[in-house]
Amino acid sequence: MTAPHADQIIAGYLARLEAALAPLPSSRRQELIDDVRSHIAEARGALADETDADLLTIIERLGEPSETAAEEMAGTRAASSTATTVPSGGRQNLLEILAIVLLLVFWPAGVVLLWISDLWTTREKLIGTLVPPGGYLGIFFFGPVLLLTGGGFGCGSWSGSTTGPDGQTVTTSGTNCPPGVVMALFGVLGAIVVVAVLVSPIFTAVYLGRRLKRRSRIDSRRGAESQPRLVG
Amino acid sequence: MAAEPLVTQMRKGVLDYCVLALLHDRSRYGFEIVQTLAAIDGMLTSEGTIYPLLGRLRRDGLVQTEWKESSGGPPRRYYRATSDGRRALRAFREEWSTFRAGVDRILASGGPA
């Protein structure tokens, strides 16, 4: 059960933290706030039945926002030499943005970048890879092949002749087309499938983009590229 | 409680390496790190300060991060020591045992014999 004043308590704390972090660039500030927010969520998840007092304990254990902010600012000073060389802005997610664009226009390269990035989970990467497999390249290369081989639903006409018992030739002819309603249904279904397939890469791109935006961070890529700047 | 500022001061130099040690063999997510440290007296008084520390370790290339799905909840960011991080920890271990031995000796006898 949710504590009666859970939202107010948490929002109040996060607002104080945000105010204390005001001097920092917004991406850095947002990252820390996200960290603290998920900390609170994890702590709440561990409670069987929370009360306001439980929430206040969680908040109290986190400590004063000013203390957390001071720790974060201390980190800024130490890393300031590198921080100034990287402008705060979208540049840090170049790899991820490129991955999303390439998934649309040149899928193989997009997939490689998708898996290199450490900002998506494995599940998200699988969705990016498999919806649809091959992206637009896959659709345009394999789509027609599938249509041709799967074209058994087509209808054609037939005619044949048999020789009757009396020696006369009997000619029969007709079509194997299903009734008009069924054909129309197939047509509509086919159109829906085609549209869904054509739109799916865009959906995937939007999905990955939103996940990225939620956790796009200055630092994680730099960490992954392992450019050591401080040891010991 | 009167001793807290002293503990705080002592902790400053070593907490980074305690975290690196936790992340040496396997990856852990932030809340897990906090819980582990909080269970040890004096290691973590303000739990919120661990997150700036983790961010700093990452920017310094000592830990790397990875998002993983969690059962039920939202994805978690996992941290793990990089090879640079493990190297830094190794250097600290050696310094630490020398340092600790020195302090112990002084505390026990009042100075080198």
Tens digit of each residue's pLDDT, chain B (113 residues): 445 678 888 888 899 999 999 999 999 999 999 999 999 988 888 999 999 999 999 999 999 999 999 887 889 999 999 999 999 999 999 999 999 999 999 999 876 65
My answer on whether A100 and A58 are in the same domain is: no
My answer on whether A82 and A121 are in the same domain is: no
Judged by average pLDDT, the poorest of A55-59, A64-68, B72-76 is: B72-76
- Domain-located, residue A222: yes
Distance CA A85, CA A221 (A): 15
Q: Is A78 a residue whose pLDDT tops 80?
A: no
Q: What's the mean pLDDT in A205-217?
A: 77
Distance CA B28, CA B50 (A): 13
Q: Is A25 a residue whose pLDDT tops 60?
A: yes
- Domain-located, residue A197: yes
pLDDT of A180: 82
> Domains in chain B, ordered, with CATH?
4-109 (1.10.10.10)
My answer on whether A100 and A140 are in the same domain is: yes
Judged by average pLDDT, the poorest of A48-52, A151-155, A182-186, B42-46 is: A151-155
Between chains, do B91 and A231 touch, taking CB under 8 Å as contact? yes
The pLDDT confidence band at residue A44, using thresholds 50, 70 and 90, is very high
The proportion of chain A whose per-residue pLDDT surpasses 90, expressed as a percent, equals 28
Mean pLDDT, rounded, of chain A: 78
Look at chain A and report how many structural domains it folds into: 2
Q: Is the peptide bond between A132 and the residue preceding it cis, with omega within 30 degrees of 0?
A: yes
CB B56 within 8 A of CB B17: no
Domain that holds residue A43: 6-88
My answer on whether A187 and A152 are in the same domain is: yes
Q: Identify the CA nearest to B64 among candidates A227, A41, A68.
A: A227
Distance CA A187, CA A193 (A): 10
Residues of B in contact with A230 (CB under 8 A): 60-62
pLDDT of A231: 44
ipTM above 0.90, yes or no: no
Distance CA A50, CA A38 (A): 16
Distance CA A95, CA A108 (A): 15
- Please identify, among A70, A88, A106, the residue that sits at the C-terminal boundary of a domain: A88
Q: Which amino acid is at A225?
A: E
- Please identify, among A59, A88, A117, the residue that sits at the C-terminal boundary of a domain: A88
Which residue among B30, B58, B92 sits closest to A39, beta carbon to beta carbon?
Answer: B30
My answer on whether A45 and A95 are in the same domain is: no
- Domain-located, residue A115: yes
Q: 34-53 in A: which are within 8 Å (CB) of B?
A: 35-36, 38-39, 41-43, 45
- Domain-located, residue A68: yes
- Please identify, among A57, A88, A119, the residue that sits at the C-terminal boundary of a domain: A88
Residues of A in contact with B34 (CB under 8 A): 39
Dihedral of the alpha carbons of B5, B11, B13, B18, in degrees to the nearest 10 = -170
